[in-house]
Amino acid sequence: MSESDPPLLVDSHCHLDFPDFEGEQAELVARARAAGVTRMVTICTRLRNEPAVRAIAEAHAGVFYAAGTHPMHAAEEPLATVEELEALSLHPRFIGIGETGLDYHYTADSAAVQAESLRIHIEAARRTGLPLIVHSRDADQDMARILTEEHRAGAFNGVMHCYTSGQELARVALDLGFYLSMSGIAAFPRSTEIREIFAAAPADRILVETDAPYLAPPPYRGKRNEPAYVVHTARVGAELLGMTEYEFASLTTLNFERLFRKAVA
């Protein structure tokens, strides 16, 4: 493969089971492939929806999945168990634990159950060896504390998905061996601080994602996002790191394969 070939990207975080995409998964995957996005990870945010998410991954080559309880749903859903997550991890297309995490933007009142859920997912990541997929919003101090405490209790790895938090949480996460994932928000004109965090991060710890159907990058901002649009975020990432688009695609693909080893197997 050479730079004359189209760059091959991975959308490391999307939600192909969401109602926005109902009945369109085959077309979405085809458009992604045409854009050079050869693999994508569709994320289950409520464990009761896991069968539907699994079915999407099974139906499309290059689509993998992960499952967990999103922090904004932690108070509404039964707490996951470590054993339940371990059982799901046996599926060949299941490559990560989560998304899980802390979100105090709208759901700070459920902080305690969010933290309990997060710690359950961390233990599952430890036991399975699969990476933890972490959502963090307006919870930097608690997230840094819990990740640090849990890492001292036993190592695990993971990614801070759609990273939009502050510099200190980024430092803590990177010091623990975590990866940071760049979403379309990094391409928004006013996201200077986020771009600075990615520019300062080790290049071998950066992933790229859409979080589709949310957070479409320019020129699609405000519209429904989809995996094909990760190329626009990657273009911003390449400029930020002083790379060609091909180099950035190669870099983030290698990073994805290093973290999500099961996707390679």
Say whether pLDDT at 138 is over 90: yes
At 204, which CATH number?
A: 3.20.20.140
Q: Is residue 7 part of a domain?
A: no
Binding residues for a divalent metal cation: 13, 15, 99, 135, 161, 211
Q: Is residue 139 part of a domain?
A: yes
pLDDT of residue 1: 44
Residue 76 lies in a domain: yes
Tens of pLDDT, residue by residue over 120-129, are 999 999 999 9
How many angstroms from the chain centroid is the CA of residue 199?
A: 19
User: 14 lies in a domain?
Assistant: no
Mean pLDDT of 241-263: 97
Residue 136 lies in a domain: yes
**What distance in Å separates the CA atoms of residue 245 and residue 163, rounded to the nearest whole number?**
21
Q: What pLDDT band is residue 265 in, cutting at 50, 70 and 90?
A: confident
Q: What are the strands of the beta sheet with 179-182, ordered from one edge?
A: 9-14, 37-44, 63-67, 94-103, 132-137, 158-160, 179-182, 206-208
- Whether 82 is covered by a domain: the verdict is yes
pLDDT at 263: 97
Given a cut of 50, is residue 34 above it in pLDDT?
yes
Distance (Å, rounded) from C-alpha 71 to C-alpha 134? 9
pTM: 0.96
CA distances from 1 to 5, 7, 24, 172, 237 (A): 6, 9, 31, 36, 21
The verdict on residue 250 lying in a domain is no
Per DSSP, the three-state class of 148 is helix
Task: From 48, 104, 97, select the one nearest 72 (Cα to Cα).
Answer: 104
Q: What is the mean pLDDT of residues 232-248?
A: 97
pLDDT digits (tens, 9 = 90+) for 210-232: 999 999 999 999 999 999 999 99
Phi, psi values for residue 195, rounded to 5°: -65, -35
Reported as type and span, the H/E element at residue 86 is: helix 82-88
Amino acid at 157: N
pLDDT at 44: 98
Q: Which residues belong to the annotated binding site?
A: 13, 15, 99, 135, 161, 211
Residue 183 counted as domain residue = yes
Separation of alpha carbons 19 and 129, rounded Å: 31
Mean pLDDT of 105-110: 97
Q: Give tens-digit pLDDT for 174-201.
A: 999 999 999 999 999 999 999 999 999 9
Counted domains in the chain:
1
With bands split at pLDDT 50, 70 and 90, how would you rate the model's confidence at 100? Answer: very high
List, for residues 12-21, the tens digit of each pLDDT value: 999 999 999 9
According to DSSP, residue 76 is labeled: T
Which domain, by its residues, includes 123? Answer: 36-212+230-242+257-264
